[in-house]
Amino acid sequence: MTEINVTELTVFVVLFVGVAGLGFVASRWRPPASTMHHLDEWGLGGRSFGGWVTWFLIGGDLYTAYTFVAVPAALYALGAVGFFAMPYTVVTYPIVFLVLIRLWSVSHRHGFVTPADFVRARFGSPTLALLIALTGIMATMPYIALQLIGIESVLKAIGVTGDSFVAQHLPLIIAFGILAAYTYQSGLRAPALIAFVKDTLIYIVIIAAVIYVPYKLGGWGVIFDAADHKFTAAKRGGLLLAGPSQLQYITLALGSALALFLYPHSVTGILASKNRDIIKRNMAALPAYSLLLGLIALLGYMAIAAADQGVAPIVTDGKPDVNTIVPVLFDKMFPAWFAGVAFAAIGIGALVPAAIMSIAAANLFTRNIYVEYLQKDASPADQARVSKLVSLIVKLGAVLVIILIDPQFSIDLQLIGGVMILQTLPAVAIGLFTRWFHRAGLIAGWIAGMSAGLAMLYAIPNPATKHAHFGGSAFPLAKLGLPWEVPIYAGFLALVANLIVCVIATVIARAAKVVDGVDATVSWDYFADEGDPKLAR
C-alpha cells in the first residue's frame, strides 16, 4: 500500500479545482448573440471558434489523457509496435485536408450538427442515418470511459487508492460529477476554454520530461539500449518491427488515421470552427501535438531505463497495471510539486475529451434519434435541453462502466469502437465527394463491415491477458485460409469488405430499380464559406 503523497495531491487538487471553476465561467465566454438555448451554441460553441481556439480544442480532443497514458504503456510492454501512433497521427491530416472542408461547408449551409445529419440529407435515408448515429454513440461511449482510466492511473500514483469500494472510486466519481456539471452548464465552451490550460500544462510537463529525465538517466542512447536489453531478455517486443508485424503496423496506422475524423467528437471540433481557412490551417498546425505524442511515447522507454530506480507498474488486486507506468515515472523522477503538476496535466487532459465526446454523443442522440423518431417538431431550445440532459446520462454510463465492470472491458470496447467507426467511412467520407452509392448499398456495406469486423475481433485471442476473444486488433491472414503468415489490422479488412459490398449492392439496387433517397444537397453547398447564406430550416 503506497502512502498518499500530500504535496502531489495538493497541487493536483488545486489545479483541478481551478480548471473546474474555469469550466463554469466558460458559459459567459464569447457569449452567444441571441440565446444559449440552441444546439449550435451549447453543442458547437456558436460555430465561431477561430484558429487558436480550434487548435487547442481539437488538439485537446484528439490527443486524450488515455493516449498519453496508453501509448507509452504500449512501448513499455511491446516496443516498436506501440509507436504506430506516430505514422497514424502524421498521415491523418493530409488525408482529411480536403474532406473536412467539404464537411464544414455542407454543414454550414444546412445547419448539420452531427455526421449522421449529413448522411440523412445526402442519401435521404433515416435508417442509414440511424445506423451512423448508433455507430458513433457506441464507439464514443467506451472512449469516454477510458478517460477515467487516465485519471485513475494518476490517482493510483499519488497513492489515492484503497481497498474499500468507496475509497477506490469516490475521487473518480467526484471528478466526473464536476465535469458533468460544467459541461451541462457551458457546453462546448467549457472544454474549449479548459483546453488552453490543459495543453499548456502538458507541453510544459513533456518538455521538462524529455530534457530532465534523459539527463538523469544518462542520455537517450542509454535509454534505448536499456529498452533493447529488456526486450531481448524477455524475448517479447523489440526496438524495431519484426518482419511480419510491418503490414500490421502500416494497416493499423492507416486504418486509425482514416477512423480518427469519423469519430463524432472530432467532427464536433471541426464544425465548431468559424470557416474553412481555419480548418486548413489547423491541418498544418495540429501535427505539433503529434510531436508531443511521439515524445510522450518514449516515456515508456525511459520507464524501462529507470527500472533500477523503482519504476514499475503499480499492482492492484494482484495485477500489475501497465497504464500506471508514466505516472509512476513522474512520481520517481520529478520533485513532488512538479509531479503534481504533471498529474494534473493528465487528469485535466481527461476532462477535455470526455466533455467533447459526451457532447458529441448527446448531439447524435438528440438530432438523429430524438428529433428523427420521437419529437419531430422539437424546437432548437428543446434540442439543446435534451442534449444537455443526455450528456449527463452518457457520463453517468461511463462512470458505471468503469466502476462496475472490469476496466479491461472498456479497453476491449474501445478497440471494437475503432473498427466500428471505420465502417461509417463510405457514407460519411466518400459520401462527401460522390452520390454514386445507393442508400441500400451503403446499408448492406455497413452490415457487412460491422459483421466482418466483429467476427474478426472475436476470433483474436490475447495470450498475455488470457483472453480468448477481443484480444487485439491484429488479425492473422492465415485464418482466412490465405497463405501468408502475416497479421493485418482487422478494421482495415472489415472496411475492404464493407466497400466491396457497398459497390456490389449499389449495382444490384440500381439494376433492380430500387427507389433511392433524394439528395437534399447541391454541389455548390460543398464549397460554401463563412458569410455565405445558410439554408432556412
Partner 1 sequence: MHDSPPSRVERTDRSPWNWLLVVPIIVPLLTFLFNASEPRLFGFPRFYWMQLAFIGLGVACTLVVYRMTRRP
Which residues would be at the binding site for partner 1 (CB under 8 A)?
80, 83, 86-87, 90-91, 93-95, 97-98, 101-102, 219-224, 239-241, 246, 249-250, 253-254, 277, 280-281, 283-285, 287-288, 290-291, 294, 298, 520, 522, 524, 527, 529, 532-533, 535-536
* Minimum gap (Å) between residue 332 Cβ and partner 1: 21
The whole-angstrom separation of Cα 159 and Cα 26 is: 32
* Minimum gap (Å) between residue 63 Cβ and partner 1: 13
* Minimum gap (Å) between residue 498 Cβ and partner 1: 21
Which one, of 392, 370, 326, 385, lies nearest residue 153 by Cα?
A: 326
* Minimum gap (Å) between residue 460 Cβ and partner 1: 22
Collect all residues with Cβ–Cβ distance below 8 Å to 48 and sequence separation of at least 6. 30, 272, 274
Q: Which is nearer to partner 1, 108 or 189 (CB)?
A: 108
10 Å Cβ neighbour count for 308?
8
Q: Which is nearer to partner 1, 106 or 154 (CB)?
A: 106
The whole-angstrom separation of Cα 323 and Cα 314 is: 9
* Minimum gap (Å) between residue 219 Cβ and partner 1: 6
3-class DSSP state for residue 79? strand
- For the record, the C-alpha cell of 313 comes out as 507498474
Q: Which is nearer to partner 1, 209 or 509 (CB)?
A: 209
Collect all residues with Cβ–Cβ distance below 8 Å to 474 and sequence separation of at least 6. 245, 248, 252, 460, 487, 488, 489, 490
3-state helix, strand, coil in the chain (%, to 5): 75, 5, 20
Contact 86, 80 (CB under 8 A): no
Residue 460 dihedral angles phi and psi, to the nearest 5°: -95, 115
- For the record, the C-alpha cell of 351 comes out as 476532462
Q: Which is nearer to partner 1, 168 or 521 (CB)?
A: 521
* Minimum gap (Å) between residue 280 Cβ and partner 1: 5
160-166 LR contacts (CB < 8 Å, sep 24+): 160/4, 160/9, 161/2, 161/316
Q: Which is nearer to partner 1, 42 or 301 (CB)?
A: 301
Q: Which is nearer to partner 1, 240 or 307 (CB)?
A: 240
Q: Which is nearer to partner 1, 47 or 109 (CB)?
A: 109
3-class DSSP state for residue 49? strand
* Minimum gap (Å) between residue 264 Cβ and partner 1: 24
* Minimum gap (Å) between residue 111 Cβ and partner 1: 13
Q: Which is nearer to partner 1, 216 or 281 (CB)?
A: 281
* Minimum gap (Å) between residue 144 Cβ and partner 1: 28
Which one, of 70, 58, 60, lies nearest residue 142 by Cα?
A: 70
Q: Which is nearer to partner 1, 485 or 532 (CB)?
A: 532
- For the record, the C-alpha cell of 222 comes out as 542509454
* Minimum gap (Å) between residue 470 Cβ and partner 1: 26
CA 224, chain centre distance (Å)? 29
> Which H helix or E strand runs over 403?
helix 380-404
SS3 sequence of 115-174: HHHHHHHHHCCHHHHHHHHHHHHHHHHHHHHHHHHHHHHHHHHHCCCCCCHHHHHHHHHH
Q: Which is nearer to partner 1, 479 or 534 (CB)?
A: 534
DSSP string, 456-489: HHHT--BTTTTBSSS--SEEEGGGGT-S---EEE
* Minimum gap (Å) between residue 514 Cβ and partner 1: 24
Q: Which is nearer to partner 1, 244 or 476 (CB)?
A: 244
Contact 530, 279 (CB under 8 A): no
The whole-angstrom separation of Cα 336 and Cα 325 is: 17
Q: Which is nearer to partner 1, 204 or 285 (CB)?
A: 285
The whole-angstrom separation of Cα 518 and Cα 400 is: 42
Which one, of 487, 360, 440, 369, lies nearest residue 62 by Cα?
A: 360
* Minimum gap (Å) between residue 56 Cβ and partner 1: 17
